[in-house]
A and B are shown apart, each in its own frame.
Chain A
Amino acid sequence: MKETYSIHTIKNAMNILKLFTKENPEWKLSEISKQLHLNISTTKRLLVTLEDYGYILRDSQSKRYRLGYMFLHLSEIITTTMEIRKEARPVLEELVQKLDEAVHVHLGVLEGTDIAYLDKIESKHPIRLNSHIGKRNPSYCTACGKIMLAYQKEEKREKLVKKIEENGIIRYGQNTVASAHELITQLKEIQKQGFAICIDEFYQGISIGAPVYDYTNEVIAAISVTGRSNRIAKEDIPYFTQEVIRAAKKLSKMLGYFD
């Protein structure tokens, strides 16, 4: 009994934090309690603890809550220790400049069965895409994600695909894979060819990805170019693919990989 209670406590607290977004950066106690269907005293208690640890701030004048500075501290640890991000910046910038289209360039790493974007650069002609730094997307329908799955050791890959299957494959786009079996077939193909192309697998978009290796010969990240299907001409795909591969190879070399 006590066990389930405490699990809910953590979940509820984390759900409070997840309410705060760029669009809705401030919340009142009553709004939070209503939104999460928690009573006022429970909500208040969670907020007090979150504030104690620096995750939440309360404006004494407006009585509204916002996210605290603890996130700046944690983010600095992530960006400083994940050195790849620093190394990748110029490579990503060069890639986006070269393509000069309405695209986004992403640097993705695998987190659980999701792909998480460590960095993102937009072209001069920005388009609205469902992605931002820190965003997690499903791995089975994005180019970065498929790359990361494809280059795992076989045992690990099977485990991940099994987990994806258990969690349920959602049809985000008209071409999203329908089954774990189909996914495995595609992953084998991707590993053979060295790149991944997803067309209308995650909403109406095209994404093209390639693997980034480090000095241990492991694939540690993926670079991808993403654009809307109606903005990337089919005949441009081979050129885009070639440039993404080139960028990924360049970054791999900087990270000490020799092929």
Chain B
Amino acid sequence: MKKKTYSSLENALRILDLFTMEKSEYSIREISDQLGIAYSTAHRLVKNLEDEGFIVKDSILNSYRLSVSILSFSSVVTAHTKLISNSIYLLKKLSSQFKATVQIGVMHREHVYYINKTDYEHLIMGYVTYIERKVPLHYTSAGKILLSQLSEEEIINYSEQYLLTATAFSNIEDFLVELKHVKTNGYAISADEYYHDFITVAAPLKNTSGHIIAAIELVYPNDAKLLRTIEQRAKEFKQVCEKIRLNS
């Protein structure tokens, strides 16, 4: 396979991409190893990002973390994304109706971004930790819903490029069949695939002109009893979501 070369800016953004909830601090050595770039390059990029206020050095651990300044960017996104403000009430309602954490996912490139979420408190009892906001499309139910809206050619392109990293689908054919089912059924179910602790159910969300603009996803703790009845729950959820038209 040909090795992709990245520009400085791309490498700087790839550094920011490394940070996750599970690993929120990196040393320069770790960054250079993870990205396969020279130590001196990693060092220079980290200094650039630090100068620009995107990451900061932790004085004690001698490693870098994301800067609090990033919060001011996200407050701009939250304030000016209609889908976020317009969905607050809807998510609360669905959360109490389906007794689940509910989140809205939108597609950007090869990821689903969860832009709004309502936690169902009673379910988060200790063992459930956290849900990332950015996940590869084929990892979650919401992602499958969004992928299933693409043309067959686009789906095949995506699969060939990204599916190799998946554990759930051993081959592209299986995945394509699954997505066809998702499209015909109008809902997607994922268990034990990406979130080992969760079962997720998703359905499309339409705007006032009837276009699919996002996916809504229910998140439950993984439970054998629930798994047996999840198909029925997914059908109910789909019926409810079909009637929703959200202004965005």
Contacts and interface: CB of A to CB of B under 8 A. Distances in A.
Contact of A72 (B57, B59, B68, B78): B78
A182 to B, nearest CB: 24
A11 B48 contact: yes
Interface in A2-38: 6-7, 9-11, 13-14, 17, 20-22, 25-26
A143 interface: no
B67 A116 contact: yes
A174 interface: no
Given A67-B73, A133-B72, A112 B56 contact: yes
Contacts of B73: 17, 20, 67, 71, 75, 134
B71 interface: yes
Nearest to B106: A69
B68 A10 contact: no
B106 A10 contact: no
B69 interface: yes
A134 B10 CA distance: 24
Interface of B: 7-10, 12-13, 16-17, 19-21, 24, 44-45, 48-54, 56-57, 59-60, 65-80, 106, 108-109, 111, 113-115, 130, 132-134
A46 B10 CA distance: 10
A26 B76 CA distance: 10
A116 B132 CA distance: 24
Given A6-B7, A81-B21, A25 B70 contact: no
A79 B185 CA distance: 37
Contacts of B17: 53
A133 to B, nearest CB: 5
7 contacts: A10-B49, A11-B48, A54-B111, A69-B106, A73-B134, A74-B70, A75-B71
A134 B113 contact: no
A78 interface: yes
Interface in A78-121: 78-82, 109, 111-112, 116-118
Nearest to B47: A7
Nearest to A74: B70
A74 B69 contact: no
Nearest to A111: B56
Interface residues of A, number: 52
Most chain A beta-carbon neighbours within 10 Å: one of B17, B45, B69: B69
Contact of A132 (B75, B106, B113): B75
A72 B59 CA distance: 26
A203 interface: no
A109 B79 contact: no
Contacts of B134: 54, 69-70, 73
A235 interface: no
A218 interface: yes
Contacts of A77: 19-21, 24, 66
B16 A74 contact: yes
A74 B12 contact: no
B21 A80 contact: yes
Most chain B beta-carbon neighbours within 10 Å: one of A9, A10, A49: A10
B130 A80 contact: yes
A111 B109 CA distance: 32
A72 B115 contact: yes
A76 interface: yes
Contacts of B114: 72
A118 B111 contact: no
Interface string A35-72: 00000000000100110111101000000001111111
